[in-house]
Structure 1
Amino acid sequence: MTEPANERRDRSVDATALEWLVLEPDEEIRVQTGPRIQTIYPWLALALVGSLVVSIAVWIDVLSLLGLLWIPVFVAPAIWQYAQVTRTAFVVTTHRVAIRSGVLGLSVRVVGLERVQNTTRSQHALGRVADYGTVTLETASGSMLSFWNVEGPATVQASLESVTQSEDDDSDGRPAVPGSSEHWQTVLAEVRAWRRTLEETHSS
């Protein structure tokens, strides 16, 4: 029986392949994906059509041989887009969200899961048919992180929400109580003081 695509993707996650992200000893990768390679198809089509038109124009003497210098103009954007797509990676671990990008250099943006407040998913008409789209993460500071043009955006969003929910739960599986222990110790002391005051008032 054929193995589902999402299971194959999960089993392909390899922490040793992430040379740009150093994982903590207790940190595990839950989502590892990137923009779909089909993103470059329109640019590839432009490069092929443009190069073909220029070549034909030179062949029929509409353009001189110098007209061939236009070919790199059509090809360069496709090469750039390919490099951008293949050098972009989106990773969600048990502790954080990380995005790698950059063509000529390297840019890594990391945000802790506790700072992720909301996720949204957007797909245009073609994206709904081909099952790709963008998952946007809103952080506590108001900034946005985008997993753009990823395959199966609904699955990516569900996995992200599952990890962030686990982060919000304590080790017993119960929702974590907001506030520090010092804060709740102070509240407890005040409640005890009020109780003593009420007991003294009632006894008098």
Structure 2
Amino acid sequence: MTEAWLSLDPGEAIEWEAHPRLMRAAPAIAVSLAFVVAAVTGGVIVDGLALVLLVVAPLPGIYGYLRVINTQFVLTNRALHRKSGILGIDVRTVELDRVQNSTSSQGILGTAFGYGNVTVDVAGGSDLRLFDIYDPDEVRAEIERLAGRSDDIPGTVEQWRAVREELRAIRHELHGQPK
């Protein structure tokens, strides 16, 4: 799925890759259909010259579709990449050790149909946004896992109780307070 725009370092492996949902192009396709209806209606009712609009009618839909299929998100075990562009290519790469935080969000329709956005906060740079992707919570969790962070608390309950008791003993020694 990835092309020449992505060069992986030795030992770097792709963990996840995706495009935005194809439905993201739906508004542009709707505009194209409106142009077709306007051209045909204008050609029949007003003047046959209005049918010339049929030449430009597909352009918004084609542009919307090309924007979606030419946008790609790739997560490797070392970095997060976003490629976009139709005629020119814009590639943004964020090393996972520069990731400070990540959030996922879903609207009402996103919750119903399982898609949403993931925003990655980057140290010393602008945020990176992955938009209209399926399972945004899982993607966010994978980014956090690969970045070395997790929602899990390390250690067992017994280990944390031992730490608490040790801290109480230190406090007792320093301040002469009872445990």
Q: What TM bracket, shorter-length normalisation?
A: 0.7 to 0.9
Post-superposition shift, 1:50? 2.6
The runs of 5 or more residues in structure 2 that have no matched partner are: 156-179
Query: Size of the alignment, in residue pairs?
Result: 152
Q: Percent identity?
A: 35
Q: Does 1:54 align with 2:39?
A: yes
Give the AA of the match of 2:6.
L
- 1:117-196 mapped onto 2 (5 Å cutoff): 117-165=100-148
1:44 paired residue among 20, 26, 29: 29
2:74 alignment partner in structure 1: 91
C-alpha distance after superposition, 1:148-199 (max 9, x if no partner): 1111111211111111127xxxxxx99xxxxxxxxxxxxxxxxxxxxxxxxx
C-alpha distance after superposition, 1:98-141 (max 9, x if no partner): 11111111111111110011111122221111111111111001
CA RMSD of aligned residues (A): 2.2
Give the AA of the match of 1:46.
V
C-alpha distance after superposition, 1:2-52 (max 9, x if no partner): xxxxxxxxxxxx6xx332111112001111111011111222122123302
Q: Does 1:65 align with 2:48?
A: yes
Compute the TM-score of the two structures, normalised by the length of structure 1.
0.68
Local SS of the residue matching 2:133 = strand
Find the aligned partners of 1:147 and 1:116 in 2 and give their Cα distance: 14
